[in-house]
């Protein structure tokens, strides 16, 4: 669309920053590299705000309905006449919203890292990777078609891989990065096959065509089957596998806790606020197809989301590592978003959709805040283990306050942001599925509990740190403050007007029948946590020993990692790869060698024919001649 | 043409001679006897040629000429062969064919 | 018959003249016989060159002697071979042991090649037989040339006796053929109604000729003789004498025996397969290079039969073309083996280890020669072999073709073994570097030019095809 | 002289120049200049070709030229290029150019090394420009045979065994080709007239189906052997691991592509009906080899074996795509040939460079290379990412085109096979990351590592040139893809026209 082509610059500016820093790595001083990165992302942010605000408040609506606008498009690779990968930028409520989220969090993380990463040897490398990530993530949300999305999806995965493995001489970091990439890659396989399947039947990758309720995608392929299953459901489920991988849904979640090996700002940006919600974004992007053509797939989404929310919340209650607790909490919250999408309907019944997006929006603020706060803490105390912290509120007041705000927000206490979005989610769930509502409700309590467990362990309790940790520099605290403000006000954004499943306004109000109990259970959680962890006591250990097996299982993350290890190391490596390698060497190759050996053997065997004795030669001669006579006479 | 002796009889004789020659070549260990065996083969051929010419194609003389040439060449061949036998005998002190097997396999 | 008609026998007459000159030179020179080398070589060179001049064609002696463009080409091909053999022999003949007997060597070889020329020109079995013996008997004497070596005498014995045996069989076959057809003239055979006796005669005839070409199972003398005889004689046997036999085989098959086409195709099919296979299987194991080349030349003979079997114009052209290339390739290989043996006395494959580091040029020539024999581009052997395959495919003999290409792989294996020895293997005491004599170098240059040039000059093949004939 | 013949003449002149060089410095300078010119004229050829097409020349091949060679057999020096060949020529000249730089420090018999190397390249160039099957076959063998010496003399490990195995297996493939080519030739004039080896003329002949069934396996397997067709791929691991750096580069990068090219432009193009009938057999074999090669890679310990097995997988994908017999997949196959060529050349170059320093290729014996050789390591990561199909690098473009194309097949069997092949991308990620994690990352293994220097200038030239290619195609694939697509039309219409 004319006048909006500059939208494409939003992702491209960080990309150029990446190229410049990457190529001139040697010659640029780290400071300059950092400045380039920060300038780049700030420029993107300004553009993104301009575009997003413009979209929401000036040109986005036609007759009160938000349109999907193709701001820019160029064909990149042509497969067939209709299947074309185009590079472009789509503008619609969710992409505009995501632009805001990503650029905001990114710029804050970029700035925060200036302080956090100070003096690290890979400073400029860090900014290069961060810029690459921002490029990929922005490209992902702006994708106009499935394949473009897949491309950036992969790029995001790689940036995540590079950043998790940032401390590449640490074995744990290397293993974590590898794990993250391979697990998500496995999930992406589902995504890719889903794309292939869907595009084969619809003949297009284009989101606009796919999601058009009257378009060929939804209407014409309903009856088609592939290997006995409805094509649309199957392909959407496969695509959802991709989303589940990236968004760490059970059972593809195992990479996320390990990914905390990366620098904390990375965890904040990638593994809390932006990349991990890509799966939610993907489902939201294809939501009309889900809603119209494959409601059963949507149901799967809901159950997976609900289960993950619960599962991760339980695990989070037991973890000793501050970042891992946050990681499980992220999983749990994303499960919430998935759940919301899963229970949603389209149009009038689209509360879940809006709620999900709303939660995505608010979650980005408070979860980024939590991570950056955790980073600030780790920066000060140099450990991740919450049992080694305590009493930090005196030393780090700003961090303390902002962290508290974030905890309140995630616990769903009004008027913090989390309250509003969580309320809508639970309301949507209540309407559609009681079981899922129950789970969501329980998770709300658990969330409050484990967040405040964390909070009290770190900031109250007794100080176990020797010496006096000090507050982080202002380049780190200012982003915290900004995010804290965001966590306070984000809840008041009128999402029902801006982001809805069909683009038009969704009538909604505060659901007190849901809000009151959920706030109550949140408060209960907080109180329980306060009782147990505010001061040093033996309550927690008593409780854990009384829970016995369940606690142990939760502490060990329900042994999912072990199952994976078994499958990969034992089954794939030892039972498949090794035998194949052996088979190749000792059967197939040996067969080729054997033909050579056989030839040699035959050669050795017939050497007596040439005996050196003249009269034997004559015998061969004569019998040869006679043989041919017989042969020819017989054949005649 | 010899009265009363059909061609087949002559051919039988020549064939027997031929195979005796072959047999001799194969079984004899003495190089000279082997050479003599080849002469036997050649003589069988000569009989053939002459007989065919005389019995079947009496108007031309090709067979006769051929046998004459064969006799001449057999002599040449024998000359060269015996010369080589002598050379071999100088080296090996033997003209037994079974001793002549340093080149093999 | 006028005297001009004798000019039809230009090749033979010139060769006889050369023989006489060598004889006179032998009488005229004293102790130092080196002059005879020069005389013989340059005479032969002139004869070879003159042979290429345009010449009349026709018949002599009532069809006993035939000459046409094809036969001229065949003769020229083999005369080049003899020239190269001469060039390669000079250095060896100058050695102490042989010095007194130089002229014998040239005389006998000239006699043999006169036989070769007459053989190709023969139009009658009488002529054929005479020239065939003329071709062989002098060579048998030459095989035993190195009196001081028992192996040389052994080679001579094996050659003369088995050759006598094979001529006996061949003649027996001929006598039967004469009996059933009543003709010895190549152009006048009527096999119709000849029945099985004709086949018996043909097979006997074939086995005698196959003996000369070293076709399995009539090949057993080959390796022993090649190994024992002086290298140059092995070279001569493997190229000129074999080539002559191939030529006369294809000429008689395509004319006299054309009515027995079914029979000879069957025989050739079978022998081609076993010859290639057995030759290759034996060659794999060989350590002595002369013996190695012997088996390689047996295998090559099997490949040559691919050109014969189709009975087509293309096949004949491919055969002649292949032999032409084979002359250069095989003689290059023998030339290297010869000069190395003369200079160092070594002829086993292990001795060749690391040859490239000490004698790079010789190794390169050897490599080209082996590649040419194996049929690897860009050397001419590739073209030769490909056209033989083409000829077989033209006749529809795909089964034979497949076996042949598989055999080509085996042959590549052992040729590469030699290349490996020269280029890859390291040696504690490699053959030290030496400078070859002028004539050897000249011969190798000619061979290399031939191996590279013949493939790329398409006109050569086109000419051969234009003068060939099919059934 | 015409544009195409120059592609043979320049290498030959370079060869002659090298023959007269007096020392290593001169030798490699001449080689670099010669191959530099070659690279430039290949780029020029691309532009000339595109200009020709833009100018409305829609002929199947452009810059065609025909000189009679063996008149009586109708063998001609027939040359001409279409988009596919142009792309392959460009690939070849990039790889040989970088190959020269990757073998900058050849000490032993350096002249012979460069001569063999460039001879090999000359054969490949000739192969890609020929239209006459005889000529093509000649160049094919010409390209294969220098491998023997290159591996045998300058290789490492079990080099003699590997060289022999490689040569014999590839030559066995070409032996099958002989049968196929001759079969085509003698049936090329069903209505009488002259037989021909010319591909374009042959493509107009309708061969009876029985004949096609008979010939197709010969030609397809014949070319397939060099394209690492399962189960005839076993020369590849041994060959690649024993070969010197530049040879592995050229062999995996270019020579293996002769197989795919030949299968596409000879086997499928000339025998479309048989291809339709018999494709499924070979599809099974290639489908297996894609996943089998990838899984086999995981268990390897030697860097070169890893790359060799992954090449089996990637090249299996080429043949797999070709056998899908549709335009998109074939386009993907050609893209994959180019992509894999560049990528694997980069891999082998880097492996050679790392090996030159660490003196080992066993991954368990290395660690922390990123710290001591950042440049080489980053390049290795880029190669790895290209190999596992990261968007923005060439591997993605190629693989996705193949997958999308293959999945367009109407038959469920083909689509299921495609899914199996697609799953190789996960396995690829596993082994690539395993290697990267083990050798590049982690703590620095030994004290001695600190003495290692990072890339020298010539190593940088080699790697950067390849990376430019990989990233260039990865980011802007459309021109290349279009160029190839146009040239696929005759082949596709041969398949669908029946």
The pLDDT of residue D216: 92
**pLDDT beneath 70, residues of chain B:** 1-2
**Top-confidence range, B87-91, D85-89, D366-370, D422-426:** D85-89
From A552-556, C218-222, D117-121, D137-141, the region with the lowest mean pLDDT: A552-556
Q: What is the pLDDT of residue A325?
A: 87
Q: What is the sign of the dihedral through the CA atoms of C9, C10, C15 and C21?
A: positive
The per-residue pLDDT for A223 is 61
Helices in A254-321 by DSSP H: which ranges?
A: 255-258, 264-268, 278-285, 287-293, 295-316
Mean pLDDT check: name the lowest of A386-390, C213-217, C226-230.
Answer: A386-390
Residue A418 · residue A412 · CB < 8 Å: yes
Rounded average pLDDT over C114-124: 93
Q: Kindly list the partner chains of chain D, i.e. chains with 3 or more CB atom pairs below 8 Å.
A: A, C
Nearest to C174 by CA among A635, A623, B66: B66
Residue ranges of the domains in chain D?
6-496
Which residue matches tokens 């002289």? D1
The shortest C-alpha distance from C193 to chain A (Å) reads 14
Closest residue by Cα to residue A50 from A98, A96, A111:
A96
| Nearest CA-CA partner of C164 in C186, C140, C198, C189 | C140
Give the span between the Cα atoms of A575 and A572, in whole angstroms: 6
Q: Does A152 touch chain D (CB under 8 A)?
A: yes
Residue D498: what pLDDT? 56
- Whether the upstream peptide bond of residue A43 has omega within 30° of 0, thus cis, is no
Chain D residues touching residue C393 (CB < 8 angstroms): 179, 182-183, 185-186
Contacts of B among chains (3+ CB pairs under 8 A): A, C
Look at residue D326 in the predicted model and tell me its pLDDT. 87
Determine how many CB atoms are found less than 10 A away from the CB of residue C196: 12
Count of H helices and E strands in chain B? 3, 0
Nearest CA-CA partner of D353 in D382, D386, D370, D376: D376
What is the distance in angstroms between the Cα of C198 and the nearest Cα belonging to chain D? Answer: 34
The residue of D182, D184, D188, D219 whose CB has the most chain C CBs within 10 angstroms, and thus the best one to mutate to test that interface, is: D182
Tell if the CB–CB gap between D299 and A77 is shorter than 8 Å: no
Interface touch A632/C224, C-beta < 8 Å: no
Please give the pLDDT value at position A225: 64
pLDDT over 70, % of chain D: 100
B93: burial class by Cβ within 10 Å (0-12, 13-18, 19+)? exposed
Domains and CATH numbers, chain B: 7-99 (1.10.287.3510)
How confident is residue C112, by pLDDT bands cut at 50, 70 and 90? Answer: very high
Q: Is the pLDDT of residue A556 over 90?
A: no
- D296 vs A584: CB contact, 8 Å cut-off? yes
Residues 564-623 of A with CB under 8 A from C: 596, 599-600, 602-604, 606-607, 609-610, 612, 614, 616-618, 620-623
Q: Name the band, by pLDDT with cuts 50, 70 and 90, for residue A210.
A: confident
Share of chain A above pLDDT 70, in %: 97
What pLDDT is attached to residue A61? 79
Q: How many CB pairs under 8 A join A and D?
A: 140
Which pTM does this prediction carry? 0.91
Q: Inspect the interface and report whether the beta carbons of A611 and B101 lie closer than 8 Å.
A: yes
Which structure tokens are listed for D321? 């795509």
* E strand or H helix that includes residue A202: helix A171-202
Mean per-residue pLDDT over chain B, rounded: 89
Region C227-242 average pLDDT: 93
Q: Say what the pLDDT of residue D140 is.
A: 92
Q: Distance (Å, rounded) from C-alpha D227 to C-alpha D255?
A: 8
Say whether the D–B interface has 3 or more Cβ pairs within 8 Å: no
DSSP class of C98: G
Instruction: Tally the C-alpha atoms within 13 A of residue A231's C-alpha that lie toward its C-beta.
Output: 19
**Can you give the pLDDT at residue C398?**
92
Residue A26 to residue D375: CA distance in whole angstroms: 10
3-state SS, chain D, equals: CCCCHHHHHHHHHHHHHHHCCCCHHHHHHHHHHHHHHHHHHHHHHHHHHHHHHHCCCCCCCEEEEEEEEEHHHCEEEEEEECHHHHHHHHHHHHHHHHHHHHCCCCCCCHHHHHHHHHHHHHHHHHHHHECEHHHHHHHHHHHHCHHHHHHHHHCCCCHHHHHHHHHHHHHHHHHHHHHHHHHHHHCCCCCCCCCCCEHHHHHCCCCCHHHHHHHHHHHHHHHHHHCCCCCCCCHHHHHHHHCCHHHHHHHHHHHHHHHHHHHHHHHHHHCHHHHHHHHHHHHHHHHHHHHHHHHHHHCCCEHHHHHHHHHHHHHHHHHHHHHCCCHHHHHHHHHHHHHHHHHHHHHHHHHHHHHHHHCCCEHHHCCCHHHHCHHHHHHHHHHHHHHCCCCCCHHHHHHHHHHHHHHCCCCHHHHHHHHHHHCHHHHHHHHHHHHHHHHHCCCCCCHHHHHCCCCCHHHHHHHHHHHHHHHHHHHCCHHHHHHHHHHHHHHHHHHHCC
What pLDDT band is residue A178 in, cutting at 50, 70 and 90?
confident
Q: What is the pLDDT of residues D446-472, one digit of tens each?
A: 777 777 788 888 888 889 999 999 999
Q: By C-alpha distance, which of D385, C130, C417 is closest to A177?
A: D385
Query: Of chain C residues 315-344, which have a CB less than 8 A from chain D?
Result: 317
- Kind plus residue range of the DSSP H or E element containing C59: strand C58-60
Contacts of A169 in chain D (CB under 8 A): 368, 371, 441-444
pLDDT digits (tens, 9 = 90+) for D388-441: 888 888 888 898 899 988 888 888 888 888 888 888 888 888 888 888 888 888
Q: What angle do CA A186, A191, A197 make, to 5 degrees?
A: 130
CB of A184 within 8 A of CB of A255?
Answer: yes
How does the average pLDDT of chain A come out, rounded?
84
Query: What DSSP element (H or E) covers A88?
Result: strand A84-91
Angle formed by the axes of helices A322-343 and A295-316, to 10°?
Answer: 160
Count of helices and strands (H, E) across chain C: 19, 2
Q: Are strands A65-66 and C58-60 parallel, antiparallel or unpaired?
A: unpaired
Cβ atoms of residues C345 and C425 within 8 Å:
no
Average pLDDT over residues A123-141: 89
pLDDT digits (tens, 9 = 90+) for C338-390: 999 988 888 888 899 989 989 999 999 999 999 999 999 889 999 999 999 99
Identify the residue among B22, B34, B40, B102 best suited for mutation to test binding to A, counting A beta carbons within 10 A and taking the highest.
Answer: B22
pLDDT at D179 over 80: yes
Q: Given an 8 Å threshold on Cβ–Cβ distance, is C223 in contact with B70?
A: no
Name which residue leads in pLDDT, C89 or C97: C89
Put simply, whether A580 touches D (Cβ < 8 Å) is yes
Q: In A, residues 54-93, which contact D (CB 8 Å cutoff)?
A: 75-80, 83, 85
Chains touching chain A, criterion 3+ CB pairs below 8 Å? B, C, D
Spell out which residues of chain B touch residue A613, defining contact as CB-CB under 8 Å: 97-98, 100-101, 104
The pLDDT value recorded for residue C208 is: 92
Task: Note whether C410 contacts A599, CB cutoff 8 Å.
Answer: yes
Cβ-contact C134, C261 below 8 angstroms: no
Pairing outcome for strands D75-81 and D62-70: antiparallel
* Both tokens assigned to D141: 């063998």
| pLDDT at A582 (0 to 100) | 85
Angstrom CA distances, C35 to C21, C84, C413, stand at: 12, 18, 43
pLDDT of amino acid A222: 58
Mean pLDDT of C231-258: 92
In A, minimum Cα distance to D328 occurs at: A79
Average pLDDT over residues C52-70: 88
* Contact status, residue C272 vs residue C388, Cβ threshold 8 Å: no
Residue whose C-alpha is closest to residue A298's, from A281, A314, A316, A284? A284
A103 touches chain D (CB under 8 A): no
Select from A611, A619, A622 the Cβ nearest to the Cβ of B104: A611
Length of chain C: 471
Most confident of A158-172, A312-326, D162-176: D162-176
Mutate: best of C353, C380, C405, partner D, most D CBs <10 A: C405
- DSSP letter at A3 equals T
CB nearest to C153's CB, from B49, B73, B88 = B88
Cα–Cα distance between A101 and C41 in angstroms, integer? Answer: 96
Residue A479, pLDDT above cutoff 60? yes
pLDDT, position A347: 76
Which residues lie closer than 8 Å to D480 by C-beta, 6 or more apart?
D87, D335, D338, D473
- Grouping H, G, I as helix, E, B as strand and the rest as coil, residue B69 is helix
Residue D370 has pLDDT above 90, yes or no: no
- The pLDDT, as a whole number, for residue C270 is 93
Mean pLDDT estimate for chain D: 89
Question: How far off is chain D from C315, nearest CA to CA, in Å?
Answer: 12
Interface test with C, best of D19, D66, D70, D111 (most C CBs within 10 A): D70
Digit-coded pLDDT (tens) for A557-576: 777 777 777 777 777 777 88
What's the rounded Cα separation, in Å, for the pair D186 and A476? Answer: 81
Q: Quick check: D72 and C466 CB within 8 A?
A: yes
User: Tens digits of per-residue pLDDT, A37-95?
Assistant: 889 999 999 988 888 888 888 887 787 788 888 888 888 888 888 888 888 888 888 88
Is B22 within 8 Å of A618 when comparing Cβ atoms?
yes
Percent of chain A with pLDDT over 90: 3
What SS3 state is found at C197?
helix
Given an 8 Å threshold on Cβ–Cβ distance, is B81 in contact with C160? yes
* Tens-place pLDDT, residues D5-32: 899 999 999 999 999 988 889 999 999 9
pLDDT at site C386: 93
Q: Is B28 on the interface with A (CB under 8 A)?
A: yes
Reported in sequence order, the residue ranges of A118-244 that DSSP labels E, i.e. its strands, are 225-226, 229-230
Give pLDDT tens digits for A224-258: 666 666 778 888 888 889 888 888 888 888 888 88
Q: Any idea where the domains of chain C sit in the sequence?
A: 3-468
Contact between D231 and A588 using a beta-carbon 8 Å cutoff = yes
Residues making up chain A, counted from first to last: 636
pLDDT tens-digit map of A393-447: 778 888 888 888 888 888 888 788 888 888 888 888 888 888 888 888 888 888 8
The Cα–Cα gap between C113 and C13 comes to 12
> Whose CA is closest to A146, among A213, A197, A221, A206?
A206
Residue A516: its pLDDT value, please?
Answer: 84
- Residue A443 tokens read as 């998770």
Please report how the helices C125-143 and C195-213 are oriented relative to each other, as an axis angle in degrees rounded to 10: 30
Q: How far is A186 from chain D (nearest CA, A)?
A: 6
For the CA atoms of A633, A636, B6, B10, what is the dihedral angle to 10 degrees?
-20
Find where tokens 């004229």 sit. D41
Tokens of A233: 């459901």
CA distance A415 to A487: 10
Q: Residues of C with CB below 8 A from B80's CB?
A: 137, 140-141, 160
Q: How far apart are the C-alpha atoms of A416 and A409, rounded to whole Å?
A: 5
Q: Say whether pLDDT at A1 is over 60.
A: no
* Pairwise CB contact (< 8 Å): D440 & A168: yes
The yes-or-no verdict on residue C334 having pLDDT over 90 is yes
pLDDT in tens, A505-524: 777 777 777 788 888 888 88
User: What is d(CA A345, CA A351) in angstroms, rounded to the nearest whole number?
Assistant: 7
pLDDT at A463 over 80: no
For D295, half-sphere exposure in the C-beta direction (CA atoms, 13 angstrom radius) is 25
């Amino acid at each position: 669309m004319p006048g909006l082509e500059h939208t494409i610059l939003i992702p491209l500016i960080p990309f150029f920053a990446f190229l410049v820093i990457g190529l001139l790595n040697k010659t640029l001083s780290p400071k300059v590299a950092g400045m380039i990165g920060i300038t780049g992302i700030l420029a993107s942010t300004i553009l993104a705000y301009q575009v997003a605000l413009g979209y929401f408040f000036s040109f986005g609506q036609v007759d009160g309905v938000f349109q999907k606008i193709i701001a820019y498009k160029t064909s990149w690779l042509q497969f067939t006449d209709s299947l074309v990968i185009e590079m472009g930028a789509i503008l619609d409520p969710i992409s505009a919203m995501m632009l805001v989220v990503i650029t905001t969090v990114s710029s804050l993380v970029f700035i925060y890292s200036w302080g956090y990463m100070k003096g690290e040897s890979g400073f400029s490398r860090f900014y290069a990777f961060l810029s690459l990530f921002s490029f990929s993530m922005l490209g992902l949300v702006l994708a106009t078609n499935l394949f473009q999305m897949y491309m950036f999806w992969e790029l995001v995965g790689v940036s995540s891989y590079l950043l998790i493995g940032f401390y590449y001489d640490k074995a744990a970091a290397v293993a974590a990065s590898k794990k993250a990439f391979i697990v998500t890659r496995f999930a992406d396989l589902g995504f890719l096959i889903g794309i292939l399947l869907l595009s084969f039947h619809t003949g297009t990758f284009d989101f606009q065509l796919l999601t058009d309720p009257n378009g060929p995608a939804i209407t014409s392929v309903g009856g088609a089957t592939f290997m006995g299953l409805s094509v649309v459901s199957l392909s959407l489920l496969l695509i959802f596998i991709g989303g589940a991988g990236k968004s760490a849904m059970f059972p593809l979640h195992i990479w996320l806790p390990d990914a905390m090996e990366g620098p904390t700002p990375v965890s904040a940006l990638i593994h809390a606020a932006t990349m991990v919600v890509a799966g939610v974004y993907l489902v939201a992007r294809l939501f009309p197809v889900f809603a119209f053509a494959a409601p059963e797939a949507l149901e799967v989404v809901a159950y997976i989301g609900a289960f993950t929310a619960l599962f991760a919340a339980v695990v989070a209650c037991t973890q000793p590592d501050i970042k891992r607790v946050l990681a499980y909490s992220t999983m749990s919250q994303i499960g919430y978003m998935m759940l919301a999408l899963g229970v949603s309907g389209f149009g009038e019944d689209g509360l879940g959709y809006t709620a999900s997006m709303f939660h995505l929006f608010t979650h980005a603020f408070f979860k980024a805040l939590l991570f950056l706060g955790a980073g600030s803490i780790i920066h000060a105390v140099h450990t991740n283990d919450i049992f080694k912290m305590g009493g930090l509120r005196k030393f780090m007041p700003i961090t303390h306050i902002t962290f508290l705000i974030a905890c309140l927000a995630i616990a769903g206490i009004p008027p913090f942001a989390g309250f509003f979005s969580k309320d809508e989610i639970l309301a949507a769930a209540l309407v559609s599925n009681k079981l899922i509502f129950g789970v969501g409700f329980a998770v709300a309590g658990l969330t409050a509990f484990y967040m405040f467990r964390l909070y009290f362990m770190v900031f109250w309790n007794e100080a176990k740190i020797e010496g006096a940790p000090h507050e982080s520099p202002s380049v780190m605290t200012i982003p915290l403050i900004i995010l804290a403000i965001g966590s306070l006000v984000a809840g008041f954004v009128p999402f029902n007007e801006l982001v809805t499943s069909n683009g038009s306004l969704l009538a909604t109000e505060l659901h007190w029948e849901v809000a009151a109990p959920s706030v109550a259970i949140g408060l209960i959680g907080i109180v329980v946590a306060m009782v147990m962890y505010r001061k040093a006591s033996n309550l927690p250990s008593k409780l854990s020993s009384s829970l016995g097996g369940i606690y142990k299982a939760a502490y060990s993350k329900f042994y999912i990692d072990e199952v994976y290890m078994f499958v990969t190391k034992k089954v794939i490596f030892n039972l498949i790869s090794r035998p194949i390698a052996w088979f190749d060497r000792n059967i197939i190759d040996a067969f080729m060698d054997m033909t050579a050996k056989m030839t040699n053997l035959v050669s050795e065997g017939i050497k007596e024919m040439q005996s050196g004795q003249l009269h034997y030669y004559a015998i061969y001669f004569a019998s040869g001649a006679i043989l041919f006579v017989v042969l020819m006479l017989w054949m005649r | 043409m010899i009265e009363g002796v059909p061609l087949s009889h002559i051919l039988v004789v020549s064939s027997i001679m031929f195979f005796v020659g072959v047999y001799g070549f194969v079984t004899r260990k003495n190089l000279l006897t082997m050479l003599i065996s080849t002469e036997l083969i050649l003589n069988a051929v000569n009989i053939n040629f002459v007989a065919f010419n005389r019995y079947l194609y009496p108007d031309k003389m090709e067979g006769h000429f051929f046998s004459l040439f064969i006799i001449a060449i057999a002599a040449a061949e024998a000359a060269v062969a015996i010369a080589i036998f002598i050379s071999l005998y100088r080296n090996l002190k033997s003209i037994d064919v079974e001793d002549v097997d340093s080149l093999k396999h | 018959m006028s005297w001009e008609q004798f000019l039809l026998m230009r090749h033979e007459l010139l060769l006889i003249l050369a023989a006489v000159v060598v004889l006179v030179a032998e009488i005229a020179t004293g102790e130092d016989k080196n002059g005879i080398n020069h005389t013989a070589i340059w005479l032969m060179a002139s004869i070879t060159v003159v042979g290429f001049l345009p010449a009349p064609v026709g018949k002599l002696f009532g069809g006993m002697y035939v000459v046409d463009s094809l036969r001229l080409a065949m003769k020229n091909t083999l005369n080049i071979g003899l020239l190269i053999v001469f060039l390669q022999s000079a250095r060896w003949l100058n050695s102490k042991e042989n010095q007194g007997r130089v002229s014998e060597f040239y005389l006998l070889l000239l006699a043999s090649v006169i036989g070769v020329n007459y053989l190709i020109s023969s139009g009658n079995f009488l002529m054929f037989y005479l020239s065939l013996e003329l071709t062989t008997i002098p060579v048998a004497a030459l095989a035993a040339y190195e009196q001081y070596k028992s192996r040389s005498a052994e080679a001579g014995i094996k050659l003369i006796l088995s050759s006598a045996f094979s001529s006996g069989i061949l003649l027996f076959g001929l006598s039967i053929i004469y009996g059933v057809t009543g003709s010895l003239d190549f152009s006048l055979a009527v096999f119709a109604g000849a029945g099985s006796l004709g086949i018996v005669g043909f097979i006997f005839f074939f086995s005698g000729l196959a003996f000369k070409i070293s076709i399995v199972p009539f090949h057993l003398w080959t390796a022993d003789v090649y190994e024992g005889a002086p290298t140059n004689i092995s070279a001569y046997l493997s190229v000129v004498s074999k080539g002559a036999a191939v030529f006369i085989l294809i000429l008689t098959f395509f004319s006299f025996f054309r009515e027995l086409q079914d029979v000879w195709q069957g025989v050739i099919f079978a022998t081609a397969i076993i010859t290639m296979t057995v030759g290759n299987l034996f060659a794999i194991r060989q350590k002595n290079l002369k013996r190695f080349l012997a088996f390689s030349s047996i295998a090559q003979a099997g490949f040559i039969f691919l050109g014969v079997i189709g009975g087509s114009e293309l096949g004949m052209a491919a055969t002649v073309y292949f032999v032409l290339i084979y002359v250069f390739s095989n003689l290059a290989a023998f030339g290297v083996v010869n000069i190395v043996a003369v200079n160092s006395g070594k002829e086993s494959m292990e001795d060749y280890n690391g040859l490239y580091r000490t004698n790079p040029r010789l190794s390169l020539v050897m490599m080209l020669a082996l590649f040419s024999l194996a049929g690897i581009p860009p050397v001419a052997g590739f073209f030769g072999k490909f056209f033989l395959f083409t000829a077989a495919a033209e006749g529809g003999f795909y089964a034979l073709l497949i076996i042949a290409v598989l055999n080509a792989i085996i042959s590549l294996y052992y040729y590469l073994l030699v290349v490996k020895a020269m280029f890859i293997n390291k040696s504690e005491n490699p053959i030290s570097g030496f400078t070859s004599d002028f004539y050897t170098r000249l011969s190798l240059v000619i061979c290399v030019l031939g191996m590279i040039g013949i493939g790329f000059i398409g006109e050569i093949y086109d000419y051969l095809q234009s003068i060939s004939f099919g059934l | 002289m015409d544009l195409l013949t120059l592609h043979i003449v320049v290498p030959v002149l370079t060869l002659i120049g090298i023959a007269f060089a007096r020392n290593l410095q001169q030798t490699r300078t001449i080689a670099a200049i010669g191959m530099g010119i070659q690279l430039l004229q290949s780029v020029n050829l691309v532009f000339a070709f595109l200009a020709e097409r833009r100018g409305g020349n829609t002929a199947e091949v452009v810059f065609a030229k025909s000189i009679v060679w063996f008149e009586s057999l109708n063998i001609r020096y027939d040359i001409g290029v279409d988009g596919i060949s142009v792309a392959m020529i460009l690939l070849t000249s990039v790889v040989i150019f970088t190959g020269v730089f990757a073998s900058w420090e050849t000490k032993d018999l350096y002249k012979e090394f460069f001569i063999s190397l460039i001879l090999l390249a000359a054969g490949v160039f000739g192969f890609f420009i020929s239209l006459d099957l005889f000529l093509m076959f000649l160049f094919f063998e010409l390209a294969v045979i220098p491998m023997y010496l290159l591996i045998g003399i300058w290789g490492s490990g079990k080099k003699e065994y590997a060289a022999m195995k490689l040569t014999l297996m590839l030559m066995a493939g070409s032996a099958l080709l002989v049968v196929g080519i001759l079969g085509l030739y003698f049936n090329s004039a069903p209505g009488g007239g002259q037989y021909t080896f010319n591909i374009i003329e042959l493509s107009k002949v309708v061969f009876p189906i029985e004949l096609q069934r008979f010939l197709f396996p010969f030609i397809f397997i014949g070319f397939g052997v060099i394209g690492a067709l399962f189960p005839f791929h076993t020369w590849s691991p041994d060959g690649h691991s024993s070969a010197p750096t530049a040879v592995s580069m050229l062999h995996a990068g270019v020579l293996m592509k002769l197989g795919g090219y030949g299968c596409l432009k000879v086997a499928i193009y000339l025998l479309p009906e048989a291809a339709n009938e018999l494709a499924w057999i070979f599809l099974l074999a290639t489908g297996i080899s894609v996943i089998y090669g990838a899984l086999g890679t995981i268990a390897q310990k030697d860097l070169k074996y890893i790359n060799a097995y992954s090449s089996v997988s990637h090249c299996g994908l080429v043949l797999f795509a070709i056998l899908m017999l549709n335009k998109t997949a074939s386009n993907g196959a050609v893209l994959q040939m180019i992509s894999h060529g560049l990528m694997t050349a980069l891999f082998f170059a880097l492996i050679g460079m790392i090996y030159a320093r660490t003196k080992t290729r066993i991954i368990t014996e290395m660690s922390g290379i990123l710290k001591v050789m950042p440049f080489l390591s980053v390049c290795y990561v880029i190669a790895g990412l290209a190999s596992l199909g990261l968007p923005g690098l060439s591997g993605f473009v190629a693989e996705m085109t193949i997958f999308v194309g293959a999945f367009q097949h109407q038959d469920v069997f083909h689509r299921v096979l495609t899914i199996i092949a697609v799953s190789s991308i996960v396995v690829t990620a596993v082994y690539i990351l395993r290697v990267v994690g083990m050798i590049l990352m982690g703590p620095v293994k030994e004290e001695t590592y600190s003495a290692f220097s990072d890339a020298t200038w010539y190593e940088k030239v080699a790697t950067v040139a390849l990376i430019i290619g990989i990233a260039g195609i990865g980011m802007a694939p459309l021109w290349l893809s279009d160029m190839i697509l146009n040239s696929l039309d005759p082949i596709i219409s041969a398949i669908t026209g029946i």
